[in-house]
Amino acid sequence: MTSAGPAAPVPTLAQTIPEPSASSSAVVPPEPVAARTTAASYDPGRLQPPPGIESQRVWVHNVAGGEILGSRDGGVTWVKLGRVMSPISGGVWRPTIDGGVLAFNFLRGDSQTFATAVNAIHLRFSDPAGYQLPEDPEAPLVAPHAVSLMPKKSSTSSGSDTDMTRVALTDIPPGTSLFGPEWSPKVGSKVLMGDGVTFKPIPYDYGPDNKVLERSHILIITERMNPEIESLEFENHAGGKVTLKRAGEDPFQAAKVVQPVSGIGRFEGSEFIPKMGTVRANHPGVFCIGTTDVNLDTEITHPIPAELINELRGGFQILPSHHYRDRSMNSGGDHPYVYLVVGPIQDPPHLKRYDMGIDGAYPLFFQGVRAGTGVTSFKFKGDERWYDISDALALGKFKSSDGKVLKHLRGYVKDALAEVTHIRFENLTH
């Protein structure tokens, strides 16, 4: 279905992204800042994303019943993705470190997508004018501001927000469309706010509000990097290489493994992944892969009762080492086995709390992947072949430490991946 868009005139590409000038506040792709360390000449190996061109834009008319539209031609034509059931009404999410969201501070600059997931999208406001992260690791941070887009509620989706004044609840099912491989944004996708004709970055002090015309429309612009990512490969042992392969280029090392992953955990939202091995969520401090087959199991009755869903979830996460080691993360808490921890190729000297290693950096934690996309493959001890999850399960390749063959990758199984030597992600639709 195509649409001419909301009643207001459809903005042209030039109106939405003006040409830079000395007197205008032009919208440009945000550049992640280089990490600060105690050694000024030290380069922690933060890769910058290659140049990008717009691949899609999503327009959210933030009023009750407002249309959610998508365009792949710069706003010339649109398709309807869904509607807003309950709009953002001026509320602002102020995530804190104590709430486990230090990663919000790994993005800097104008408003952009903080998190893309099959069960939520979080949009970060612009920085306060001239704001810099403090040098003192004990200094309080200026709280980032954010709002959220949420999929249609179901008995298995509790969401991450309870204050609905800062949430746009949609009628789009989780794991699909805006929350899936078709239209999900990337971490770092530009976010603009306006009246339906003129759009600007969301300022720090206020955000979308269905009661104010100039704040009633949201535009999310996603870019395709050139060259595109073809695959990401991890040697699953301490010191192992993280290898990036991009179209038309030789593979090269982009990071290293600090801590291998050996287990899977009950990550909320994994029950909505469109297929096993796709990206459940991505933000500047997390790359989460869903492994459960709950949506494919014909013996499971849907919708799944909330009291049963936890053991049907499944996945593992890739975390940047600096974020993982922060006291707000408690180094994985009681379940460190479910985290594949990665860091710069060279160990950074004495990073302070608010410095960044590869946190919020391309390709794993910025401008790399979209929710609901990708194929995950594994190599196992004594076997040089690659297997996707379904084939590996069918062949009994996943075994616990006591030799028990696993039929599913669900729940918390601390040794479900103990036999895995390599992990590869590919087919990351851009």
Report the pLDDT value the prediction gives residue 219, as an integer from 0 to 100: 99
**Could you report the per-residue pLDDT of 140-163, keeping only the tens digit for each?**
888 899 999 999 975 444 444 568
**Could you report the per-residue pLDDT of 366-388, keeping only the tens digit for each?**
999 999 999 999 999 999 999 99
Task: Please state, in angstroms and rounded to a whole number, the distance separating the CA atoms of residues 196 and 205.
Answer: 20
Report the pLDDT value the prediction gives residue 161, as an integer from 0 to 100: 55
Q: Which residues pair with 287 in a beta bridge?
A: 282, 318
- Residue 178 contacts residue 81 (beta carbons within 8 Å): yes
Report the pLDDT value the prediction gives residue 225, as an integer from 0 to 100: 95
**Could you report the per-residue pLDDT of 285-302, keeping only the tens digit for each?**
999 999 999 877 767 777
For the chain, domain boundaries: 46-225, 229-426
Report the pLDDT value the prediction gives residue 374, as an integer from 0 to 100: 96
Task: Please state, in angstroms and rounded to a whole number, the distance separating the CA atoms of residues 159 and 255.
Answer: 32
Nearest to 167 by CA among 182, 153, 187: 153
Nearest to 430 by CA among 377, 371, 359, 376: 371
Answer whether the bond into residue 134 is a cis peptide, omega within 30°: no
Task: Please state, in angstroms and rounded to a whole number, the distance separating the CA atoms of residues 215 and 220.
Answer: 14
Report the pLDDT value the prediction gives residue 37, as an integer from 0 to 100: 31
Give 302: exposed, middle or buried? Use CB within 10 Å, 0-12, 13-18, 19+: exposed
Greatest Cα pair distance in the chain: 67
Residue listed under structure tokens 């179901």: 154
Nearest to 59 by CA among 223, 207, 225, 191: 191
Report the pLDDT value the prediction gives residue 3, as an integer from 0 to 100: 47
The contacts of residue 205 (CB under 8 Å, 6+ apart) are none
In order along the chain (430 residues), what is the average pLDDT of each group of 10 residues?
Answer: 46 39 34 33 69 97 99 98 98 81 88 97 94 85 93 59 88 96 98 98 98 98 97 98 97 96 94 94 96 80 78 94 84 83 84 85 96 97 97 95 91 95 90
Task: Please state, in angstroms and rounded to a whole number, the distance separating the CA atoms of residues 362 and 368.
Answer: 6
Report the pLDDT value the prediction gives residue 305, as an integer from 0 to 100: 77
Alpha-carbon distance values, 208 to 2, 90, 91, 145, 297 (Å): 26, 6, 8, 11, 40
- Residue 38 contacts residue 349 (beta carbons within 8 Å): yes
Full 3-state SS string of the chain? CEECCCCCCCCCHHHHCCCCCCCCCCCCCCCCCCCCCCCCCCCCCCECCCCEEEEEEEEEECCCCCEEEEECCCCCCEEEEEEEEECCECCCECCCCCCCCHHHHHCCCCCEEEEEECCCEEEECCCCCCCCCCCCCCCCCCCCCEEEEECCCCCCCCCCCCCHHHEEEECCCCCCHHHCCCCCCECCCEEEEECCCCEEECCCCCCCECCCHHHCEEEEEEEEECCCEEEEEEECCCCCEEEEEECCCCCEEEEEEEECCCCEECCCCHHHCCCCCCEEEEECCEEEEECCCCCCCCCCCCCCCHHHHHHHCCEEEEEEHHHHHCCCCHHHCCCHHHEEEEECCCCCCCCCCCCCCCCCCECCCCCCCECCCCEEEEEECCEEEEEEHHHHHHCCCCECCCCCECCCCCCCECCCCCCEEEEEEECCCC
Report the pLDDT value the prediction gives residue 44, as an integer from 0 to 100: 57
The β-bridge relationship of strands 315-320 and 339-343 is parallel
